[in-house]
Amino acid sequence: MKNIAYSLLPLDGYYTFSQRFLELLKAASSGTFDLAAVISPLGSVFLKFEAAYKKERKSEYTAKLAAADEARDRAYLALRHYLVACSYASVEGYSAAADTLLTIFSRLGWSMQKAGYQTESSRLGNLIAELQTDENVALLTTAEATPWLERMMTAADAFEAIYQQKLATDAADDTISAYRLRKVLQQQIEISLSWMDVQQQFNKSDELTTLIGQVNELIANTMTAARASATRKSSAEEE
């Protein structure tokens, strides 16, 4: 059975894969090839995941957070790229100031804009704190980079305001999040795949061989799409 790099799958890609995997199992199950023991627990977890996933997609905060996160990502990259440009500039003081400031970016996470919401917030907060020390404020002034920092801080604050609003709303909602259910669903998928591997070793059949081939094709196509998407995103955020 092919491996699944779950970490590469965005939530929508994870939903699509899980849905199609369950559909393959249901289509393969027959009177002579009973998969009820696999389908029942997997289907139960998937229905809970699907309900949470669809609810979160409809949430007013989903689109707002995505837009605010993109805005802070762009503001972060604008400051970082500006300093990279300054490191090559012939203007007096620019290069030395930018080189020193860029070491902070490297130490705290050069590509922090690619991290999850909470991780990025933490790293961005640490970056802003360091850039606001007296020594670094002087370097930013030398490189005339202060306006770029201020834009990034504004974007970061805007994201955090929306995120805190979402947390307050979620605290009043007892529905389990799709992210948490994703972990449970992943475990059930792995159990199902392991069951198929064991059956193939000790109770091999043409039906099972066909099903495994279909599942492997689904995994291969899913991972190809996920890696292509990750590559496009990386190219768009070229370092």
Q: What is the pTM of this model?
A: 0.55
- The beta-carbon contacts of 50-55 under 8 Å, at least 24 apart in sequence, are 50/15, 50/19, 51/175, 52/175, 52/176, 52/177, 52/178, 52/181, 53/11, 53/15, 53/178, 55/175, 55/178
Give the residue-averaged pLDDT of 65-70.
Answer: 94
The string of DSSP letters for 24-71 reads HHHHH--SSS--HHHHHHHHHHHHHHHHHHHHHHH-HHHHHHHHHHHH
Which of the four pLDDT bands, split at 50, 70 and 90, describes residue 233? low
pLDDT of residue 235: 62
Query: pLDDT (tens digit, 9 = 90+) per residue, 9-54?
Result: 888 888 999 999 999 999 987 766 788 889 999 999 999 898 888 8
Q: For position 120, what pLDDT does the model report?
A: 95
Separation CA 193–CA 35 (nearest Å): 12
Q: In whole angstroms, what is the distance from residue 127 CA to residue 105 CA?
A: 7
State the average pLDDT over residues 90-94. Answer: 96
For 167, residues 6+ apart whose C-beta sits below 8 A from its C-beta are none
- For CA atoms 57, 60, 63, 69, the dihedral sign is negative
Q: What angle do CA 178, 183, 184 make, to 5 degrees?
A: 95
| pLDDT tens digits, 147-164 | 999 999 999 999 999 999
% the chain with pLDDT above 70: 92
* Residue 118: pLDDT over 60: yes
Q: Is the per-residue pLDDT at 134 higher than 80?
A: yes
User: What is the distance between the alpha carbons of residues 114 and 238, in angstroms, rounded to a whole number?
Assistant: 11
Place of tokens 């939903």: 15
- Cβ–Cβ < 8 Å for 35, 207: no
pLDDT at residue 143 is higher than 90: yes
Res 87 pLDDT > 60: yes
What is the pLDDT, as a whole number, of residue 174? 52
pLDDT score of 81: 98
Q: Which segment of 101-110, 173-182, 205-214 scores lowest on mean pLDDT?
A: 173-182
pLDDT-derived band of residue 236, with 50, 70 and 90 as boundaries? Answer: low
Higher pLDDT among residues 222 and 171, named by residue: 222
> What mean pLDDT, rounded, does the chain reach?
89
Contact, 163 vs 155, CB < 8 A? no
Instruction: Check residues 123 and 58 and name the one with the higher pLDDT.
Output: 123
pLDDT of 57 over the 80 cut: no
Which residue type does 28 have? A
| Model pLDDT, residue 2 | 86
| Confidence label for 176 from pLDDT (cuts 50, 70 and 90) | low
